[in-house]
Amino acid sequence: MPALTRRVVTAGLHVADVLGRHVEAIPPGQGLALLEEIRLTVAGTAAATAVDLARLGVRVATVGAVGEDALGVFLRSTMAGEGVDVMGLAVRTERPTSATMLPIRRDGSRPALHVIGSNAAIRADDLASIDLSDVAVLHLGGTCLLPGIDGAPSVELLRRARDAGVVTTMDFIPTGSPADRDAVLPCLPFVDYLFPSEEDALSFAGASTLDEAIAFYLDAGVSTLVITRGAAGVSISTRASRDMRLPAYAVDVVDTTGCGDAFSAGFIWGLMDGADASEAAERGLACGSLVATGLGSDAGLNSAADVARLRAEGVRGAV
């Protein structure tokens, strides 16, 4: 029997998103607003990234927690149907499945109404049980919103992955709490590729410029800093080469939900193929741009062929 290819493991946030478009305002009282579309989708920095990876043809498993409810069933069954190994996605009875309501504006932006739920029920033993023997890339997504594993459990997982020769990637979602630093900073010396958005990168670092933020994360121990900048593309920095910029694709934006997770998936897909940071980021940019063309984290990106088509035919924006 031929050996299985090495895989990716994503760990962290799993969320059910309910999205509606377009929402101009919330009606007062018992008022009614008619929308063009409402969808229920798999979301979260671990879950959406895993689904996108599966669609790109990458063998992927995910680790986290859902509730014992209809949304939990939806997340587990939908991800399994996409080809994601969900054996590590625990069902916890004490909390509901994490969920977000997202009223999408016409410019693609959206406020969020969120229930933390089962993401607070992920435990250290969930991470300790991850078998890294056939893992090529470990992606930790959602640090700062994972109270059960933020800090020492996440550091130990990243340290164990590094010792096993696994490439480590990470995304975090700062809340503005003083606890954020205790959650993120001890992880960074064990992170090969960090994927913050520009807004999160600046706010967490307390920086007013990209240069200041880049220096902060590299000094904190990150090997390669990859800052996603929305329509402006991406900035890639290492100690040897800082702030290399690549443009995004010019697309008709419907919804920006999940674009960062799609970028992470495309970048990791590139790493799995042996690509350097620049080529991996090019794939990530194409994936993120595709997802922006539809409603929800799973929109626009169905296969590697979609990425190839956009890269061949798409129009690039400005950096």
Task: Give residue limits of the domains in the chain.
Answer: 7-22+37-313
Q: Which residues contact 318 (CB under 8 A, 6 or more apart)?
A: 232, 247
d(CA 236, CA 282): 11
d(CA 67, CA 75): 10
Flag whether pLDDT at 81 surpasses 50.
Answer: yes
Note whether 48 and 299 are within 8 A (CB).
Answer: no
Task: Check if CATH label 3.40.1190.20 holds for domain 7-22+37-313.
Answer: yes
pTM above 0.75, yes or no: yes
Give the mean model confidence (pLDDT) for residues 53-74.
Answer: 98
d(CA 265, CA 189): 22
The predicted-structure confidence for 240-251, as pLDDT tens digits, reads as follows: 999 999 999 999
**Percentage of residues of the chain with pLDDT beyond 70:** 98
Partners of residue 41 on adjacent β-strands = 17
Average pLDDT of every residue of the chain: 94
